Amino acid sequence: MSTVNFTPDDKIRKIAEAFALDAGDFLRDHFRITLDWSDASIQHIESVMDRFHREAANARPSPEQVMQFAKMFGSYIGEVYRKNHGATWGLVEMDGQPFPGLKAQSSDTTFWPWGRARNRLVKGAEENVWHYYSALITPS
């Protein structure tokens, strides 16, 4: 069983806020989609990520390019959660490895949307971010 530690980090919050704003600009400029920071807006992120995944076979983005989009889309997902449900950005440490992520205020749930967004871009539909987000906001 792995141990998960969380350390709040305001620098990560500021970076995530900037990336989330970039996501809004990107979807508006390239897809004519306006993100409104609602839970439902994550469906727009999922549809764009699905398109990116399908087109990646031909475009062959570098790992760095994939990670830039993962940070942008994952930050938007995290910021929507933070604004609508309460969470803190920081470092999630799992098995000695730190990852930027969030800790929900209402529970001890920690999650790392950058990693999930990267997995969605690389692996495809089984890493659907709308399903991921829906599970995060559904009370257990």
Domain with residue 98: its CATH number is: 1.20.120.1090
**Alpha carbon distance, N-terminus to C-terminus of the chain:** 21
- The mean pLDDT values, 10 residues at a time, for the chain of 140 residues are 79 98 97 98 98 88 95 98 97 88 90 96 96 90
Q: Is the pTM of this model over 0.85?
A: yes
Question: Residue 10: inside a domain, yes or no?
Answer: no
* Angle CA 8–14–20, to nearest 5: 115
| CA gap 27, 102 in Å, rounded | 23
Question: Residue 1: inside a domain, yes or no?
Answer: no
Domain span at residue 38 reads 16-137
Question: Residue 7: inside a domain, yes or no?
Answer: no
Q: In this structure, what are the phi and psi dihedrals at residue 5, rounded to the nearest 5 degrees?
A: -115, 155
Question: Residue 119: inside a domain, yes or no?
Answer: yes
Number of domains in the chain: 1
3-state secondary structure of 120: helix
pLDDT on residue 140: 64
Question: Residue 9: inside a domain, yes or no?
Answer: no
